[in-house]
Amino acid sequence: MTTARELALQVLQSLETGKQQSDTLLHRSLHHSTLNRADRALSTGLVNGVLRYRLQLDFVIAQFYHHKLEKAAPIMKNILRLGVYQILFLNKVPDWAAVNECVKLARKYKGERMSKLVNGVLRKITPESVTLDEWLKEKKNEEQLAVKYSHPQWLVERWSAAYGNEKSEALLSYNNQFPSFGFRINRLKNSAGRFFSDPAMAAVMHEESGIDNIFLSKDFNAFEPAVIDGRLTVQNPTQALACLLLHPAPGSNVLDLCAAPGGKATFMAELMENRGQITAVDRYEQKLEKIESHAEALGITIIKTVMEDARSFMPEIHPDAILLDAPCTGTGVLGRRAELRWKLNPEMLQELLVLQAELLDHAAELLDENGILVYATCSIEPEENNLQIYSFLRRHPDFIADPVGEHLPEQFRQSNEGCGAILTLPGEHPGFDGGFCQRLRKAKG
């Protein structure tokens, strides 16, 4: 039988070669396993922990491993990472148990000689023998932070430059915490009062997010049945802000240019009381199927999906409003997507900036006078957010920033009223991911 640690190792190994995300792989492996609840939680915690802390774990292993770690087989690195993660971060697992289990895995997958090597390295690693501060004290500040919070150094340097050292350290720390889930109550089927009059739902730990009909909870499983039957949608409150900024009226005609998997399209349909039309464009057929099944579960009938490149899509009539939730680096959601921080690089950012500008330019052409354009990202990089908008406004003097309006919670209205933009940094507002949204209006047709 596959143990919790072996399952975690298998998921980590699949990530080395495949293109799928860790949560998809974990979900699939757990679905087919016979592990009990505690072991499932252990596998999940190990995969997420090893992915997040990879840089720090490798730094620690390198102090005790007397060969070139880069040259070790990926499975050896992953077994060592699993061992060190348990020793340093999981207080409930005794060190000897962590070591023994990793030695067994090394024996099974790499033979006796490698199991001895794993044993030799892991036995030397204890919370006392790991003196990170001492090892790092000669390094420059950004390098220290990169290892301490296990983030790529180029990102640490960007955030220190953009937000200063203190804020940047708070962001790094937040990204290693277990974030809450946001749940949106489907107002087409329910009110918040009615939803929580169900004693099974009321009994689960949850808190208000500050946005009507959206609450936060760490307990995904307890709310899953309500997600399946369409009373709830999983949505972080930051994602909801972009829809509230647009706030389409019932009966209006909205174009959602990068729509899948449909979290925002379905929220806009709920705000529109399922009256009017939302054209949901995305490039990928499989992703559009997700919007369709999502809308069906929620009882939404006004979303029409279109598979096309949003840089050339031409609607039959000009819409009243466009939501452009652009592809982005996702640096506002690194706490939620454990491996994403290692997949990003500065070249990718440059490519995305070009794509975002092209999408914005095409969206601008599709609006008539007084048409509304809301641009959103789940990034906290200024180039993808306010700087992207400054360039857009320079290229399109017919657009102006539009006030954020009364549909937003008070805390987001205060300082943002005039500029029409909201930036949330991860952890700054409890439960809110990082992200950006901007409301623009075409002043001249």
Ligand X SMILES: C[S@@+](CC[C@H](N)C(=O)[O-])C[C@H]1O[C@@H](n2cnc3c(N)ncnc32)[C@H](O)[C@@H]1O
Residue 401 marked in a binding site: no
Nearer Cβ to ligand X, position 61 or 360?
360
Judge whether 350 and 210 are in contact, CB under 8 Å: no
Report, in Å, the least distance between residue 427 CB and ligand X. Answer: 21
Nearer Cβ to ligand X, position 146 or 323?
323
Span between the terminal Cα atoms of the chain, in Å: 67
Report, in Å, the least distance between residue 184 CB and ligand X. Answer: 11
Residues within the interface to ligand X (CB under 6 A): 239, 258-264, 281-284, 287, 309-311, 325, 327
Residue 259 marked in a binding site: yes
Residues in the chain: 445
Judge whether 355 and 408 are in contact, CB under 8 Å: no
Give the span between the Cα atoms of 168 and 181, in whole angstroms: 23
Using alpha carbons only, how large is the chain's radius of gyration in Å?
24
Residue 161 marked in a binding site: no
Smallest CA-to-CA distance from 210 within 440, 431, 443, 436 is with: 431
Q: At 193, list the tokens.
A: 């009062």
Report how far apart, in Å, the C-alpha atoms of 2 and of each of 29, 39, 356, 413 are.
Answer: 10, 11, 44, 52
Phi, psi for residue 402 in degrees, rounded to 5? -110, 140
The structure tokens 């857009």 sit at 392
Nearer Cβ to ligand X, position 5 or 264?
264
Residue 260 marked in a binding site: yes
* Residues known to be catalytic: 378
**Residue type at 193 in one-letter notation:** G
Report, in Å, the least distance between residue 281 CB and ligand X. Answer: 6
Nearer Cβ to ligand X, position 157 or 358?
358
The structure tokens 């697992």 sit at 93
Residue 409 marked in a binding site: no
Report, in Å, the least distance between residue 423 CB and ligand X. Answer: 16
Report, in Å, the least distance between residue 287 CB and ligand X. Answer: 5
Q: At 96, list the tokens.
A: 């000897």
Residue 262 marked in a binding site: yes
Nearer Cβ to ligand X, position 325 or 381?
325
The H or E element that residue 136 is part of is: helix 132-136
- Residue numbering of the annotated binding site: 258-264, 282, 309, 325
- Residue numbering of the annotated binding site for S-adenosyl-L-methionine: 258-264, 282, 309, 325
